[in-house]
């Protein structure tokens, strides 16, 4: 028997669902290896909180080292998550919260307890400005990450990334540790430095992204030798190496000032 094409046919019965209850979102099981990126982020948060505690106790050298450890972990967790294909919305939000604590709150508090605690209020104002700039930058990054516009050039950042901003704001501490002396700059200068680094993070200045740097194969051996030399210098002369690194990074920011590429805000 033929069917009139204009007459809707009887609806087909829906396929039966498989036996058992359907798996609800978020109930899938993850291996310990897949959770490793989030574990690194949690360790970084613990390092940042401990750095604040040590700063309040006056152990500034160890506190700065913990923030440096948090920066290393911050550079590892995202790449590890992509390598293990375990990226998640929760991990991204956790990483942003860790960045705000480790690079927006802890460095400013360390600088404040180290040199600005006796200032006439402007020291604490500088801490607040730096922290607000850090959280604004991270919020801008989250908005861009969730947007559909992926046309920006990932070879550049908009403004200074928050980990780099944290290292730059602690440059006076690096100099002091390298020279074996206490704070040697006036409080007002240190406060201005902190505010300037905060404004750099939310600026529109294009800054170089090392994540997309490509090394020609013929120059790879020289690059590896340079990395080995830098690591040896960091082990033997840690504070001087950090000072030179910060100065070199400021140099790259100055060089990039005339350029106007389409840039991203990633950290």
Q: How far apart are CA 253 and CA 206, in angstroms?
A: 7
Give residue 260's pLDDT band: very low, low, confident or very high (50, 70, 90): low
Helices (H), the chain: 36-57, 60-84, 89-99, 106-111, 122-146, 162-169, 171-179, 187-201, 220-236, 238-256
Answer yes or no: is pLDDT of 43 > 80: yes
Residue-number span of the structural domain to which 253 is assigned: 36-144+155-264
pTM for the whole structure = 0.81
With respect to residue 203, please indicate whether it lies within any of the assigned structural domains: yes
Q: What is the pLDDT of residues 88-147, one digit of tens each?
A: 778 788 888 999 999 999 999 999 999 998 888 899 999 999 999 999 999 888 787 766
d(Cα 12, Cα 59) in Å, to the nearest integer?
A: 73
Does residue 211 fall inside a structural domain?
Answer: yes
- Give a yes or no: residue 25 inside a domain: no
Q: Calculate the alpha carbon distances from 126 to 117, 132, 155, 228 in Å.
A: 11, 10, 31, 37
Instruction: Report if residue 8 sits inside a domain.
Output: no
Residue 121 belongs to some domain of the structure: yes
Distances (CA, A) of 184 to 173, 181, 189, 215, 234: 10, 8, 10, 40, 23
If one counts the domains in the chain, the total is 1
Which range is least confidently modeled, 55-59, 131-135, 146-150, 214-218? 146-150
CATH value at residue 64: 1.20.120
d(CA 36, CA 147): 27
* 77 within a domain of the structure (yes/no): yes
pLDDT at 33 over 60: yes
Residue at 186 is within a domain: yes
The mean pLDDT of 178-198, rounded to a whole number, is: 91
Question: What confidence tens digit (pLDDT) does each residue in 61-94 have?
Answer: 999 999 999 999 988 887 787 777 777 778 788 8
**Does any domain span residue 28?**
no
pLDDT of 203 strictly over 60: yes
């Amino acid at each position: 028997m033929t069917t009139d094409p204009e007459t809707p046919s009887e609806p087909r019965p829906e396929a039966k669902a498989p036996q058992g209850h359907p798996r609800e979102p978020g109930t899938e099981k993850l291996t310990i290896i897949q959770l490793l990126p989030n574990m690194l982020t949690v360790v970084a948060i613990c390092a940042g909180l401990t750095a604040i505690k040590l700063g309040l106790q006056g152990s500034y050298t160890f506190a700065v080292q913990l923030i440096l450890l948090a920066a290393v972990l911050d550079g590892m967790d995202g790449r590890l998550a992509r390598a293990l294909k375990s990226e998640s919305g929760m991990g991204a939000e956790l990483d942003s919260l860790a960045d705000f604590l480790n690079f927006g709150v802890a460095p400013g508090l360390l600088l404040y307890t180290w040199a600005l605690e006796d200032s006439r209020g402007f020291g604490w104002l500088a801490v607040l400005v730096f922290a607000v700039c850090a959280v604004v930058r991270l919020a801008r990054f989250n908005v861009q990450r969730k947007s559909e516009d992926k046309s920006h050039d990932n070879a550049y950042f908009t403004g200074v990334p928050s980990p780099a901003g944290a290292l730059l704001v602690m440059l006076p501490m690096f100099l002091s540790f390298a020279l074996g002396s206490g704070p040697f700059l006036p409080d007002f200068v240190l406060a201005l430095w902190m505010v300037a680094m905060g404004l750099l993070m939310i600026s529109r200045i294009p800054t170089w992204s090392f994540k997309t740097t490509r090394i020609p194969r013929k120059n790879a051996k020289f690059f590896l030798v340079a990395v080995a030399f830098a690591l040896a210098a960091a082990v033997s002369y840690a504070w001087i190496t950090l000072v030179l690194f910060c100065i070199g990074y400021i140099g790259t920011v100055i060089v990039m000032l005339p350029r106007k590429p389409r840039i991203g805000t990633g950290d």
